[in-house]
Amino acid sequence: MALSLHKEGIAGGRLSPEQYAENFSDLHPPLDDHEALVEADRCYFCHDAPCMTACPTAIDIPLFIRQIATGNPLGSAKTIFDQNILGGMCARVCPTETLCEEACVRETAEGKPVQIGRLQRYATDVAMGRNKQFYTRAAPTGKRIAVVGAGPAGLACAHRLARYGHEVTILEARPKSGGLNEYGIAAYKSTDDFAQAEVDYVTAIGGITIENGKALGRDYRLSDLVEAYDAVFLGMGLAGVNALRAEGEDCDGVADAVDFIAELRQASDLASLPVGRRVVVIGGGMTAIDVAVQSKLLGAEEVTICYRRGKEQMNASEFEQELAAAKGVVIRHWLQPRRVVADGGKVSAIELEYTTLDGDRLIGTGETITLRADQVFKAIGQSFVPEPLNGASMTVELERGRIKVDAEGRTSMPKVWAGGDCVADAREDLTVSAVAAGRDAGESIHRALTSNGRA
């Protein structure tokens, strides 16, 4: 029996089980063997490949595609994993349309790039499906490293250190490992519990112990780690969510988009997840798109994204914006939240002010519009929460509200490195950038531990 879409307010069970299954199926189905060979044949195998330059982890893209074309998907997977041990997830969630595929010569010449992301998924899926491990641990060094956070940066750092024979302990605050790959990615981008399968694949090298439910500042201090381990890597990501700074934002029905996405990712029954009939999302990045599209897929009738600047300034890629539009999401620009209207303590509407540019400065025009809503999501960025770092005998220097590091990921505190979203010079808030930061910090830690015997 089809369930009614017209349940008032925030409610679950708006769709039938079949509709939920269809809505949250794989966004980009994997290529089969024949499709992968055909697509690989489209590559020009450029000598100075612009796609490789555009990849934050510098994967040798022409080589891995050539290996697929010659019937060697395992060799292709190793080429990918040499640079990016989380290449399977990155193939699913990377905005390839603004990275490697945008730089593809085929895109420049024809407007149709080689599907690098799907080819990368093909190769890594073959390797992981066969549980093919390409790396063995070096002889034990006796060195012990603590990694704070089991997200992409922490996992990449841990794997690189384990390859060199070091012992790594990852301390993760959440019940599951994977970080944003587990809790922050739209469900239709990573299906079949892939994030956990990848964690298992990465840690299968040995020498990596993960302790879940261990939060920095609550269960241990940074000074404890510095004293007990030869080196420490901080990869805890961003725990705070920016406020709307709008009147009434604390009323019932206003929620953080990241929390909603995490709840959706962990839900065993999507019908149990409440969603509004009229949803308004404030923000213009990937998180805003993810929460808006998934609200629609859960059965919301009207979903509107409101962004304070224009289409060209949105952090979400053009592909993501088009995906939202294709799913029935309305994107409105030049609007900023001013007041959340409540009825009986619950959201009934949101008042927004039109914006404009005064030179380089964004200002409100004074003109307003009110949109009916029974659910409002905040997706205007996350912030670093430095308080867990407090209490150490030495302090880690911050810059622009995040951890300050040098080119190798070293912090101001001896024996402590950091990488990923928590650092001031985070290359981009992308999984692939976090992997690169963790990998490079792992190399730096190894050099420090082996050059003079101590970090």
How, if at all, do strands 240-241 and 382-383 pair?
Answer: antiparallel
Banded model confidence at residue 293, pLDDT cuts 50, 70, 90: very high
Contact between 282 and 244 under an 8 Å Cβ cutoff? The reply is: yes
Is 449's pLDDT higher than 50? yes
Banded model confidence at residue 427, pLDDT cuts 50, 70, 90: low
- CA nearest neighbour of 240 among 62, 432, 422, 409: 422
| pLDDT of the residue at 334 | 98
Q: Tokens standing for 176?
A: 């599951």
Q: Out of 35-39, 60-64, 231-235, 388-392, which region has the weakest mean confidence (pLDDT)?
A: 388-392
Q: Domains along the chain?
A: 33-129 (1.10.1060.10), 144-239+384-451 (3.50.50.60), 242-381 (3.50.50.60)
Contact between 423 and 402 under an 8 Å Cβ cutoff? The reply is: yes
The CA–CA distances, whole Å, from 136 to 207, 231, 271, 301 equal 10, 22, 44, 52
The structure's pTM equals 0.93
Cα 115 to Cα 383: distance, rounded to the nearest angstrom: 33
| 183 phi, psi to nearest 5 deg | -110, -15
Cα 244 to Cα 194: distance, rounded to the nearest angstrom: 33
Q: How many CB atoms lie within 10 A of CB 135?
A: 16
Contact between 386 and 379 under an 8 Å Cβ cutoff? The reply is: no
Residue-wise pLDDT tens digits, 333-345: 999 999 999 999 9
Q: What is the mean pLDDT of the chain?
A: 93
- CA nearest neighbour of 300 among 260, 333, 242: 260
Cα 212 to Cα 176: distance, rounded to the nearest angstrom: 7
The SS3 call for residue 354 is strand
Residue-wise pLDDT tens digits, 355-364: 999 999 999 9
Contact between 188 and 290 under an 8 Å Cβ cutoff? The reply is: no
Over residues 248-252, mean pLDDT:
93
Q: Tokens standing for 228?
A: 């007990």
Q: How many CB atoms lie within 10 A of CB 453?
A: 10
Is 103's pLDDT higher than 70? yes
Cα 332 to Cα 310: distance, rounded to the nearest angstrom: 9
Over residues 128-143, mean pLDDT:
96
Q: Out of 112-121, 289-298, 305-314, 443-452, which region has the weakest mean confidence (pLDDT)?
A: 443-452
